[in-house]
A and B are shown apart, each in its own frame.
Chain A
């Protein structure tokens, strides 16, 4: 499955605590993405990265920050977790080609429950 892992796979935390999710790839793809998936909303982009230390916001970035210090790792941090951030989080990777867009491959997901 495209050499993408996410950790942890499941996490339960309390409101107000910081949480960091990790995405690791072995494909050397330039682009990495964080999505959240909630019933009735599909996949919504939180943040993405187009290279080491190069990141940008997606449509639901409030309350989240990201960092990418090396090609293979993309970290998502919930600065102060809230119950509305209970969700399934997916990481994805892609390597743009000559036409720009290329396939995104998804990691296995992380289920986060904020109590």
Chain B
């Protein structure tokens, strides 16, 4: 089955800095890679996703890049704000399967 590794487990940045979270996956057939943000005590919510036929996708201050050859994808947050503080999860969806495999999460802390 699919295995997703996520790094770092915690990340502290100053407000205004950029933050990068990286994930690797094992199944080369995976074709869908969502990112979820989970604030304390809340449900995970999708913030951005990318499919295997695209190398990069942006949405305002967040972007995701995908390197299929190396089997890794990354979340980039620019101009971080305190409200970006949360746990972020990456996931991979192998073609032909019906379930997502999640990374273990990254706790991002943005200090004012």
Chain A residues at the B interface, C-beta cutoff of 8 Å: 1, 31, 33, 40-45, 48, 50, 56, 58, 90, 96, 99-109
Chain B residues at the A interface, C-beta cutoff of 8 Å: 6, 31-32, 34, 36, 42-46, 49, 51, 89, 93, 95-100, 102-105
Candidates B31, B49, B99; contact of A33 at CB < 8 Å: B99
CA distance A44 to B89 in the complex (A): 12
CA distance A37 to B51 in the complex (A): 26
Give the A-B contact count at a CB cut-off of 8 A.
56
Candidates B32, B46, B89; contact of A105 at CB < 8 Å: B46
Candidates B42, B46, B98, B103; contact of A42 at CB < 8 Å: B103
Chain A residues, Cβ within 8 Å of B100: 45, 101, 104
CA distance A53 to B45 in the complex (A): 28
